[in-house]
Structure 1
């Protein structure tokens, strides 16, 4: 079957077409028998993905993005461990929970306008799982595989871990505090950064939050008092969202 996939003329649109390739040399029934008795070595696949060349940021560091994506299965009543997943845009001003399987997916990102990502790990959440705990354990195992594969060495820039604002960022950073990572979280208008910055009168791994919308005059009604501009430290820069700028952080 592998020979048939490699030697087929054009894309494979259905499995049964592989039995027509000369390199297959067997009947189409053997193809489905192989799939029924075959298995995927998930641990080996994860190690192999960690060893391939990965996209990187402009400064050469690894950037890992984690998010939870739901596979909705409302009609699969016999499927085990379904969870009510929040959905958006399925009705006017409605967020309808739909039964499905939530997956925590981690991808490697690159600098630029490309939408290509490199999926490195996926893990299905079970009922009762805590998102921050599962993501921290999943991210720790992935980073250990990346270090073992030589993707990060002593002296390299810290790995940037990006999540959305729905995560417990300070707790996630605390759970990964012994790894060479910096945790960055944000949404369309708010960015918060939790990193290993130790300062006086500030606890380590404290989350710093900067709301870019507070500095935009477009968000204030006419005649309102000017809103205070956010205080930006020496290690963070941001621009108002209406200028479509970028946010950057450095240790």
Structure 2
């Protein structure tokens, strides 16, 4: 690859696919994110022949095998309409059984007092001892 191609690939990965967008703390997460971006880029390269050309009036018409990943990304949403449906309809289901009738909640939510302003202007809980 030429340097020109490599630089434009990195620019596309950063600007369009968001390679450097997330602020990840763990190196493993950063590695996983890098692999996801590479997979997305590969998917765009492989979908060149399937993607429809969505272009602005001043863009030239390009052969399908020479489309850039950015152009493929613009027409990527139309690929799904052309693909056959591989799954069946989802099964309908009702709501879950929930808690049995007549049973009590084992751990009720803790209740906290409302903080009120004292005469001195400091905040504290009602009934809490004042320092001093």
Could you state the TM-score of these two structures normalised by the residue count of structure 1?
Answer: 0.14
- Larger-gyration structure (1/2): 2
Could you state the TM-score of these two structures normalised by the residue count of structure 2?
Answer: 0.24
